[in-house]
Amino acid sequence: AESEELEIITDKEFYLPGQTVKFTAKTNTIIPGTGLKYSVYDPNGIELFSGKLFPDAQGMFSGNVFMSPTKPVYGTLDIVAQYGKQNARVLFELIKDEKDSQKIILTTDKDVYGPGENIIISGRSNKYVPALDLDVVQAGTGSLSVSSNKIFQLKDQVNLAGDSTFRYELKVPAGEQNLGDYKVTVSKDFGSATARFKIAQNPQTAALETNYYIKTDNDLYLKGQIVHVTGHVNLATRSSLEAVPVLISLMDENGKQIVIDTQISNQQLVQNKVITKTSTYSFTSIPDQIGNFNLDFKIPQSFSPASYTIRGVYDKRTFDTAFSVQSAIDIKNTNIIAKTDKSVYGLGQTVNVNGTFFSGQSTIKITLTQPGGKIINDGVKVDNSRFAWSWTIPSAEYTSADIRDLRQSKPTVFGVYVLTLSSSNQSVDLFFKVSKDPALDTLEVKPLEVNTDKSVYHAGEKLTVFGEAIKRMTADKQFSVVVDRVNVEVRNSANKAIYTSSLDIDNGGAFQATYDLPITIFKDGKYKIVATYQKLRTDTSFEIKNVLPIKTGSKLTLVLSADKPQYVRGDTVHITGSTTQVLSSPKLNLVVNFQKEGAIDCKLFYCGLGVKPIDISRSYSNGVFSYDYA
């Protein structure tokens, strides 16, 4: 006898509020006079819609559900269908329309241009108007006293197309006077957006700085030398014409603001004694029309050889850079002192590292660990106690041609990199990030981090736990990595461990594990993942929400899923599933058919393809089963 089977699909995977979800179901057994009952559940398991559909002569059902824009609940929604004894389920995602959060979107086709290149400015408006106001201004020299006729400025309008998009082609005349940073503003009374670009003599090696930064012209100074400070801010909106300065202060290696003694004037002598008072060693700098600022200050003789921090504060934002002071004959500090020129980079940009090393050694070993764990070994010569090293980031994301083993996960250019500088008796780790949006992204380095691939699961699914740990280095001359593991526990709401694992860490510090979620153990509720590494501890949580009924008296429902939607030749398909009732000794058969495009869908018929059912009953335990199909 033919087994009854029901399947259901949606026309898309992702929907926006205001769109209609169209779904179709198909059965291989039509039951006269019986309709298909369906329900739609939101991510919280609350039923949103329900209805009944009847099949056509071919056993097809068609339905649709409108995603109301009023108080939408974003996330994974379920459609659960029941037709006689047949059951099926399909998932889809309700996502936010990013257009709602930004009034105007503005971009340029590149970050850095050569002299005379065409600059393409494009974007979209959330509200349709015939035209938007366009304002382009070039950076000055760090002082508002510069004559405005020496700065490139353009005011124009950009016309909107019918879909509220716009495109504007800008050409800045070639010439040394037009090199530098530029700010583009598109605005109307309902909102505005800004973008920045740079025109450089060598655009391949130049890079656009982040929105807020401060830096020095060198990493190491002697007492009495001049420090040239440059930086950039996004100009704050203000109601008056008065310029808002950048507040700049110096802090010691303990993070305390530096104060200096100042001798008062003769008119303030008290009882013929010279009186001194203290004041903070701080400055102000007025940004120019695009937000660039600069200043010079002299290293006082009172500064001790040490590391110092320059901190800028503007519009409630804080940004730092560091430098070191050495006396002309002080070479007792034999530590490796180094830093990168930025913390976040984009594709094709160059990472520049500068530093000092007063040990007498002529070389430093450099190890670059990429996000996927791949290691690049290099070295740099130390010349007169100084060294410099650079590495160019790939100009595009990795493709399948860059993958040697297709069974491994796809590597990525984006993520956090670890740069290790090593001598014979010490090592220093520097961190930087490669981002799709370096102007807005920030670097955050956590010694231990753990996450799950989703925040909400249904019992019977697979839970994937992944994270990263900064590997500890030994103090011997080989600088070998301590063979450590990350301990991971899956705990229930009573804080009792359900799973305990000891996971290996790859070269990049990453770890990962997959766990079953048996329907008899993982009831509705919140669960915790606890990761420990050496003396570090961190945790994250996830939630179980079972949409289908898990009751002894309910109808038996079978849920089946694979670990990925697509595979390459040689992959192993990890198939998992569950039943809504725990069966004592079920007989479970798995049939995998190769379906040719345009051919009749035979379902459980074999159609002469020679496919035999696979008995997977042995894998069934506590309502969950699995099979690896290769």
Residues 440-451: pLDDT tens digits?
888 877 788 899
How crowded is residue 121: how many other Cβ atoms within 10 Å of its Cβ?
20
Give me the CATH number covering residue 232.
2.60.40.1930
Neighbouring-strand partners of residue 296: 228
> 52-109: per-residue pLDDT in tens?
999 999 999 999 999 887 888 899 999 999 998 899 999 999 987 665 467 888 989 8
The verdict on residue 474 lying in a domain is: yes
Asked whether the beta carbons of 166 and 160 are under 8 A apart, the reply is yes
Give helix then strand counts, H and E, for the chain.
Answer: 0, 47
Tell me: do 123 and 142 sit in the same domain. Answer: yes
- Among 70, 97, 124, identify where a domain stops: 97
- Among 79, 97, 115, identify where a domain stops: 97
Tell me: do 248 and 377 sit in the same domain. Answer: yes
Tell me: do 457 and 532 sit in the same domain. Answer: yes
Q: How many domains does the chain have?
A: 5
What pLDDT was estimated at residue 345?
93
Tell me: do 424 and 476 sit in the same domain. Answer: no
In this prediction, the residues of the chain whose per-residue pLDDT falls under 50 are 1, 100, 140-148, 262-278, 329-331, 406-407, 473-482, 549-550, 604-606, 608-610
Asked whether the beta carbons of 146 and 205 are under 8 A apart, the reply is no
Q: How far is CA 188 from CA 135, 240, 289, 573, in A?
A: 11, 20, 20, 53
Asked whether the beta carbons of 157 and 121 are under 8 A apart, the reply is no
Residue 428 neighbours by CB under 8 Å, 6+ apart: 335, 336, 338, 420, 421, 422
Please tell me what DSSP assigns to residue 409: P
What pLDDT was estimated at residue 513?
92
The verdict on residue 439 lying in a domain is: no
The verdict on residue 442 lying in a domain is: no
Tell me: do 220 and 259 sit in the same domain. Answer: yes
Q: How far is CA 422 from CA 297, 307, 376, 430, 433, in A?
A: 33, 20, 14, 11, 21
The verdict on residue 549 lying in a domain is: no
> 507-565: per-residue pLDDT in tens?
767 889 999 888 778 888 899 999 998 878 899 999 988 755 445 556 777 777 777 77
Tell me: do 414 and 313 sit in the same domain. Answer: yes
Tell me which residue range forms the domain holding 110: 102-199
What pLDDT was estimated at residue 352?
93
What pLDDT was estimated at residue 168?
95
The verdict on residue 207 lying in a domain is: no
Distance CA 49, CA 84 (A): 20
Task: Let me know the angle formed at the C-alpha of 511 by 509 and 513, rounded to the nearest 5 degrees.
Answer: 180
- pTM above 0.85? no
Neighbouring-strand partners of residue 226: 298
What pLDDT was estimated at residue 330?
45
What pLDDT was estimated at residue 553?
56
